[in-house]
Amino acid sequence: MKKLISTLILMNVFLLVGCGRGDSSSAKNTKRYSNAPKKKLSEAEKVKFITPTIYYIGDYSGVKSSQCSETTEISLRREKSDIVKMNLCNKAFNGCKMQGSCYIDIDGQKTMINYHKKLDDGKIQFMLVDRAHCKYGMGDSSDAKHSFSEMCLDPFYSVAADNSIYPLGTVIYIPTVAGTVLPDGSTHDGYFIVRDSGGNIDGNGRFDFFTGDFGLNASNPFLDLGLGGESNFDYQVVSDSDAQAVRAHRGFPLLK
């Protein structure tokens, strides 16, 4: 039976499941860490069920710092030795910091930046995203077990998790998600790869789902499922051999 289950999981990586889901007509306009799940799980339940939230690429390219009453200075790393300082409107700064990656306006161009680190002076350093390598921004590239030269986020297939429990590259399977029709018309196979971590992402079953350019609105199919915090679903951590097949299928740690 165990071998049969393993085989079925592996087959799902390459097969599309029919049975799509409709769009939500009344998604809540909440932020990454404020959409806490309604049901609080016990520690035993957290091993079996997810505690979900959603994060995405915030778009602040239309927010001009020259028109803001309050701004925050950031350090922007453009190349290894090219670091500049610039001001962001507080709205853009807070959104970029919370979501991890975002679009801002630089010299009239819509540009993606990624959270990098907090500096000794307390300021936040961001870095420009090389979209030729990581089109949708970057996740964490190292934890206590693994280190990668780059870690690209993969919309609708990436999650942030507690890396002390789920190291980078861990694969989880959520049966309820399998069959969901994504915005590009493809059908989700139910598999996700841990490519990131984040504030308040702690403990068993705690997953933050990355949805790329689709934020908390009706066009995001994961909201319709309840992954924005409305529902708790059962999940499985996928075994090594099957997990490797999923990682190869998604081009981990880059993109397919």
Q: What pLDDT, on a 0 to 100 scale, did the predictor assign at position 134?
A: 96
pLDDT tens for each residue of the chain, 256 residues long: 344 334 444 444 433 333 332 222 232 223 333 345 567 899 999 999 999 999 999 999 999 888 899 999 999 998 777 999 999 999 999 999 999 999 999 999 999 999 999 999 988 999 999 999 999 999 999 999 999 999 999 999 999 999 999 999 999 999 999 999 999 999 999 999 999 998 789 999 999 999 999 999 999 999 999 999 989 999 999 999 999 999 999 999 999 9
Q: What pLDDT, on a 0 to 100 scale, did the predictor assign at position 200?
A: 83
Query: Mind listing the pLDDT tens digit for each residue in 122-141?
Result: 889 999 999 999 999 999 99
Q: What pLDDT, on a 0 to 100 scale, did the predictor assign at position 20?
A: 30
Q: What's the pTM value of the predicted model, to 2 decimals?
A: 0.84
Q: What pLDDT, on a 0 to 100 scale, did the predictor assign at position 181?
A: 97
Q: What pLDDT, on a 0 to 100 scale, did the predictor assign at position 24?
A: 28
Q: What pLDDT, on a 0 to 100 scale, did the predictor assign at position 14?
A: 37
Q: What is the C-alpha separation between 227 and 158, in angstroms, rounded?
A: 13
Sketch the domain layout of the chain as residue ranges: 1-56+136-256, 58-128
Q: What pLDDT, on a 0 to 100 scale, did the predictor assign at position 61?
A: 96
Q: Quick one: which of 133, 117, 57 has its CA closest to 83?
A: 117
Query: Mind listing the pLDDT tens digit for each residue in 87-97?
Result: 999 999 999 99
Say whether domain 58-128 belongs to CATH 2.40.240: yes
Q: What pLDDT, on a 0 to 100 scale, did the predictor assign at position 198?
A: 86
DSSP states of the chain:
-HHHHHHHHHHHHH-------PPPSS-----TTT---SSPPPHHHHTTB-EEEEE--EEETT--GGG-SSEEEEEEEEETTEEEEEEEEHHHHHHHHHHSEEEEEETTEEEEEEEEEE-TTSPEEEEE--TTT-TT-B---B-SS-B-S--B--TTTEEE--TTTS-TT-EEE-TTTTTPBPTTS-B--SEEEEEE--TT--STTEEEEE-TT--SSTT-HHHHHTTTTT---B-EEPPHHHHHHHHHHHTTTS--
DSSP states of 34-70:
T---SSPPPHHHHTTB-EEEEE--EEETT--GGG-SS
Q: What pLDDT, on a 0 to 100 scale, did the predictor assign at position 31?
A: 32
Residue 219 half-sphere exposure, CB side, CA atoms within 13 Å?
9
Which residues have a Cβ under 8 Å from the Cβ of 184 and sit 6 or more positions away? none
